[in-house]
Amino acid sequence: MSEIRIKLLDAFTNAGETFLSGQYLADLIGCSRTAVWKHIEELRKEGFELEAVRNKGYRVVKTPERITADEIRLGLQTNLIGRNIYYEESVESTQIIAKLLSNENVPEGTVIIAEEQLSGKGRMNRTWHSPKYTGIWMSLILRPNIPLTKAPQLTLLTAVAIVHAIEEETGLQPEIKWPNDILLAGKKVTGILTELHAEADRIHSIIIGIGINVNQKMEDFPRELQEKASSLAIEKGELMSRAGLIRSFFKHFEKLYMLYLEQGFFPIKLLWEGHAVSIGKILKARTLTNVIEGKALGITDDGVLILEDETGYIHHIYSADIEV
Ligand code: BTN
């Protein structure tokens, strides 16, 4: 952290609720007023709320809500998921850390959570916008004893668990767009990226990356995302506790995961279909090489989307962007 930032934060700490003028801060720190202003803007971007009053100056009215592993653990109702949490302030991608940790044989259910990702990974080689203190950026390590081909089922299971957690924490009713986008009012609030690490035909680990837009305001999203993305806070009209949502997700995920290991995919598939926005509708599936239009008939037991085009031909879609 820069010397100016440290002195600025010290000054605000000592001032409590008293306003400090730009000139006072500049003199105290020994820098220009422009430098003070620049650092104040940086703090705002990090989630600090600073009140500015003409002829008085600035004061801190709210600090960013950090998620701490202790805060999540308090009240956690699981035996496996989230019992072991790695919390990072800033990382390239939680997926990368999860992969390294999974090679060190950390227990199943280990979760890596970061306040910010500098190169968050999305599906289909896209990036995932992961600004500081606003969302939930986490990766979950699983080691199920299932055949490789069944791994995509866990992505669908994750989507159902997120829907249940959002319902519980917000009272809103999200929809799932195949394969794993969670929508509120037609806009994406959550993305899931599943990465599989296997040797021969044995799963070493499945890393489920989850990005939930929680407390962003619309202007926090890059302009090109503003039409299609949203956050829980925007849709609910109030800020949410990220730690509470994480705990709720762990609880719902564990419940569904145990059900899955005992009874297989069928009960999960029913739950998934109950929340799916796309089934029965005419969709456009944009794959890396092709665009297929047709009616979504459902998903297979492996989570593959079944589309019937206008000639009656049945397509199996393994990976695509869907336009409803
Ligand atoms: C998508 O494109 O819809 C999937 C987005 C997945 C984003 C999450 S955020 C936590 C984890 N770490 C990453 O780098 N990506 C996933």
CB 191 near ligand 1, within 6 Å: yes
| Inter-CA distances, 216 with 113, 219, 240, Å | 17, 8, 10
Are residues 82 and 49 both part of a single domain? no
Query: Residue 105: its pLDDT value, please?
Result: 84
- DSSP class of 124: T
**Residue at which a domain ends, from 40, 62, 84:** 62
Are residues 193 and 111 both part of a single domain? yes
Ligand 1 atom closest to 122 (CA): 2
Compute the distance between CA of residue 186 and CA of residue 297 in angstroms, rounded to an integer.
Answer: 20
Are residues 56 and 176 both part of a single domain? no
The CATH number of whichever domain residue 23 belongs to comes to: 1.10.10.10
Are residues 169 and 46 both part of a single domain? no
Are residues 166 and 287 both part of a single domain? no
Q: Give the structural domain span for 298.
A: 282-323
ipTM: 0.99
CB 93 near ligand 1, within 6 Å: yes
Are residues 56 and 159 both part of a single domain? no
Are residues 80 and 161 both part of a single domain? yes
What would the two tokens of residue 36 be?
């003070």
3-class state of residue 182 by DSSP:
strand
Are residues 249 and 301 both part of a single domain? no
Cα 127 to ligand 1 centre (Å): 8
Residue 65 has pLDDT above 80, yes or no: no
Residue 132 has pLDDT above 70, yes or no: yes
Cα 277 to ligand 1 centre (Å): 21
**Residue at which a domain ends, from 19, 37, 62:** 62
Query: Residue 15: its pLDDT value, please?
Result: 87
Q: Whose CA is nearest to atom 15 of ligand 1?
A: 121
The CATH number of whichever domain residue 298 belongs to comes to: 2.30.30.100
What would the two tokens of residue 173 be?
């009713």
Domains held by the chain: number: 3
Reported as a single tens digit per residue, the pLDDT across 99-129 is 999 999 899 999 999 999 999 999 988 999 9
Are residues 210 and 269 both part of a single domain? yes
3-class state of residue 50 by DSSP:
strand
Tokens 């668990």 locate to: 161
**Residue at which a domain ends, from 44, 62, 80:** 62
Q: Quick one: 223 exposed, middle or buried, by C-beta within 10 A (0-12, 13-18, 19+)?
A: exposed
Buried b (16+ CB within 10 A) or exposed e, 265-300: beebbebbeebbbbbeeebebbeeeeebebebeebe
CB 192 near ligand 1, within 6 Å: yes
Ligand 1 atom closest to 126 (CA): 2
Residue 320 has pLDDT above 90, yes or no: no
Helix 33-45 to helix 22-29 angle, to the nearest 10 degrees?
100
Are residues 251 and 233 both part of a single domain? yes
Residue 77 has pLDDT above 90, yes or no: no
Query: Residue 74: its pLDDT value, please?
Result: 74
Compute the distance between CA of residue 160 and CA of residue 299 in angstroms, rounded to an integer.
Answer: 14
Reported as a single tens digit per residue, the pLDDT across 16-64 is 889 999 999 999 999 999 999 999 998 888 778 899 999 999 998 876 6
CB 190 near ligand 1, within 6 Å: no
Annotated binding residues for biotin, written as ranges, equal 117, 188
Mean pLDDT, rounded, of the chain: 92
Query: Residue 63: its pLDDT value, please?
Result: 67
Query: Residue 323: its pLDDT value, please?
Result: 83
Are residues 21 and 51 both part of a single domain? yes
% of the chain residues with pLDDT over 70: 98
Cα 114 to ligand 1 centre (Å): 12
Compute the distance between CA of residue 258 and CA of residue 321 in angstroms, rounded to an integer.
Answer: 30
CB 229 near ligand 1, within 6 Å: no
Query: Residue 14: its pLDDT value, please?
Result: 80
Cα 134 to ligand 1 centre (Å): 15
CB 194 near ligand 1, within 6 Å: no
The CATH number of whichever domain residue 167 belongs to comes to: 3.30.930.10
Work out the pLDDT band at 88, boundaries 50, 70, 90: very high
Cα dihedral angle (75, 78, 80, 85), rounded to 10 degrees?
Answer: -20
Are residues 17 and 122 both part of a single domain? no
Cα 231 to ligand 1 centre (Å): 15
Q: Which residue has the higher pLDDT, 52 or 302?
A: 52
Compute the distance between CA of residue 298 and CA of residue 280 in angstroms, rounded to an integer.
Answer: 7
